[in-house]
Structure 1
Amino acid sequence: MAEARCPASCGELIQGWILGGEKLVSCPVNWFSHVNVSDGMPSKHERPLMRQMLVNVLQHLGIAAEAAKGLRIDFDSSIPLAKGMASSTADIAATAQATARHFGVSLDENTLATLCVKLEPTDSTLFRQLTLFDHQTAATQRPNEWLPNIDILLLESPQRLNTADYHRRDRRQSLLEQAATLSQSWALFSQAMQDRDHHKLGEATTLSACANQQLLPKPRFDELLTIVRHSGIYGLNVAHSGSVVGLLFDAGRHDVEQLCWLLQQRRITDDYPQQHRLQLIHGGVR
């Protein structure tokens, strides 16, 4: 038996038309999809793309596809589905690495990225560092050394969105209309990484979230911006192809209880009935 796990993402730190095409930087958090691959009869409870990934890894390793019939995939995931939290990327990336480990091999990040984008648009959570990533082709991979010490209050909406369907929409014109804003967001993000500046990072993520309101609006967004300004937290980020919102703060500097009270007082919790306190962590398949 071999196992692997890959983290969820609280949406994206930034996403949009950057450097000539749509790219993103995921926001990895401490929820995981755990996958085990072992000898045995396939389970009826696998998620569909897991089995396809297993077969693709066998092909990559030069192993006959027939071998898949004798391999079992078991998994356990705490990641909500269809909310923009990279649940599918976590599943297939962990499946890929667990399958390779079952045969005594370890896949590097570039190989994982290539395998994943062959199946679907992929989040950059499979990279250890915060990485600007072309999530549809894997052609762009720009890592950043700094991992900010950031707490996240994740606001979970009951709304669900099929990410694959969303990416099939013709969004090019809308993305191009927001290209100037995303250029500014990317510049702020890059400067924040260089200066290790949490506030500048929050500006970058908030700007990207504002641009995304033109493509996939989030309920009560203006009120959330008001809370960000009045509370002094770093900023917010969103799932650009999902429904969750993240409030970015430092538990040592900001009052999270006050933040929760403000959400309740303004009845924003009506639209986001579940809140989860998470942390920004290193990405990568463990």
Structure 2
Amino acid sequence: MTADTRRAGADVVSRGRGYASCHHGEILQGVFLDGRGRRRAGLVTLPMYGLGTTAEFVRRPGTDLSVVPADRTKALRAAGLAVEECVRLLGGPACGGELRLTADVPVGLGMGSSSSDVIAAVRAVADAYGLRLPPQTIAALAVRAERASDPLMLDGRPVLFAQREGHVLEVLGEALPPVVVVGCTLGGGRPVDTLSLPARRYDDEEVQAFEQLRSALRRAIADRDPALLGHVCTASAKRGQRTLRHAEFDTLRHVARRTGATGVQIAHSGNVAGLLFDPAGSGLRRRMRHCVHALNSNGIPVTRTFTTFTTTEEIPDGSATGRAAERRDGRAHRGVDRPAGPDTPRRPAHMSAL
């Protein structure tokens, strides 16, 4: 067995660990057509590594399931579903145990904090059973646990993901175009209750518009075009304002124009936002310093800078940052010669805050 084990009387207590990163909101979110022409809710998230949830699960036969902190009910539900799945695969009786979560993802800002909790919990339970569940199974369990899930169980490739169904509608390419993101928070950083938002109804014109943005994003990825990526982000954010109505949206767009940002990115279910910059653009450091000053001067707190690519270059705050995937912890998620795939681990990244 790959998980830590120790014997307690006649029972074996097993311990497993799991990790899942967060994201920085959506690049694109709306309703899209699947291969059969049916309308499907879908989204493309902006990966941001360095923040996430670490889960530890201790199997204790003959006990109930519990979670610490006690308010992480979605993660607890996910742990129960994961136990059922592991028992289905391995046989034997179901067991209880304790799930402990340690997270540094801000809650309610649209960064996938609940999905991070849920996916880390599923991975920890699987690890305690000595299993490594495939991404599609984790996605299915996550949707059952929280009704909709972000695609944090995947490998970071840009995908159009049906968040309410837990599967990929389209793999858009291998990697996002290179951009540097100046992150910030809107609405005073107040959490957003996504369940309280009015339900959107999309007419044929809107569905067609989202399909055009999907095609544009596909081209941006194929051509590694930061400007086209910024256009997609801004257009999607603008449509999202019909529901979210951020007071700072016009200010963000004004700052983006003044500083030469390629676009504005806003979470569709929270208050996290970002301005995107082409790293190959002239005067990048100067323009980013100008951006940070302009945002702070307008009462929009800057949080952190990060990129969609791996780099050792320094950015204007003097710190190095870049794209690197999260640890998928637990011994069942480790392997030296395992071929790369949707759940392959990589080195953790440090994301510097401004």
1: CA distance, partners of 2:75 / 2:45: 21
Matched, 1:92 2:112: no
Structure 2: distance between partners of 1:65 and 1:10: 40
1:165-180 counterparts in 2 under 5 A? Answer: 165-166=196-197, 169-173=198-202, 178-180=206-208
Structure 1 pair 64/214, CA: closer, same or farther in 2 (3 Å)? Answer: farther
State the alpha-carbon separation in 1 of the partners of residues 247 and 267 from structure 2.
13
Q: CA offset at residue 151 of structure 1? A: 2.5
Of 147, 151, 161, which aligns to 2:176?
147
Q: What letter is aligned with 1:55?
A: G
Q: Take 1:250 and 1:242, find their aligned partners in 2: how far apart are those partners?
A: 25
Q: TM-score when scaled to structure 1?
A: 0.88
State how far apart, in whole Å, the 1-side matches of 2:249 and 2:164 are: 28
Structure 2: gaps of 5 or more residues: 1-14, 34-38, 309-322, 329-354
Q: Secondary structure of the equivalent of 1:124?
A: coil
SS in 2 for 1:149: coil
**CA RMSD for the aligned pairs?**
2.3
Do the aligned partners of 1:182 and 1:207 also contact (CA within 8 Å) in 2? no
Distance apart, 1:180 and its partner CA: 3.5
Q: Percent identity?
A: 23
**2:222 matched to 1:204?**
no
Q: Shift of residue 44 of structure 1?
A: 4.2
- Residue 102 of structure 1 corresponds to 128
Conserved in 2, the CA contact under 8 Å of 1:182 and 1:211? no
TM-score (norm 2): 0.72
Greater fraction of residues in helix = 1
Larger Rg: 2
Secondary structure of the residue aligned to 1:207 is helix
Higher relative contact order (CA 8 A, sep 6+): 1
CA gap of 1:189–1:203, structure 2 versus 1, over 3 A, is same
- Equivalent residue, structure 2, for 1:246: 274
Match of 1:35 in 2: 55
* Amino acid in the other structure paired with 1:190: R
Give the secondary structure class of the aligned counterpart of 1:215: helix
String of CA shifts for 1:129-177, please: whole Å, max 9, x gaps. 12101100124432221233332222123222123444xx43124x766
SS class of match (1:36): strand
Structure 1 window deviating more from structure 2 (81-90 vs 15-24): it is 15-24
C-alpha contact (below 8 Å) 1:130/1:282 kept by paired residues: no
Aligned partners of 1:126 and 1:283 also within 8 Å:
no
Question: For the residues of structure 1 that align with 2:279 and 2:263, how far apart are their CA atoms?
Answer: 14
Q: 1:215 — aligned with what?
A: 243
The aligned counterpart of 1:26 is 45
**Cα distance, 1:60 vs structure 2:** 1.1
In structure 1, list runs of 5 or more residues that go unmatched: none
Q: Secondary structure at the match of 2:274?
A: strand
Which residue of structure 1 lines up, in the alignment, with residue 6 of structure 2?
none
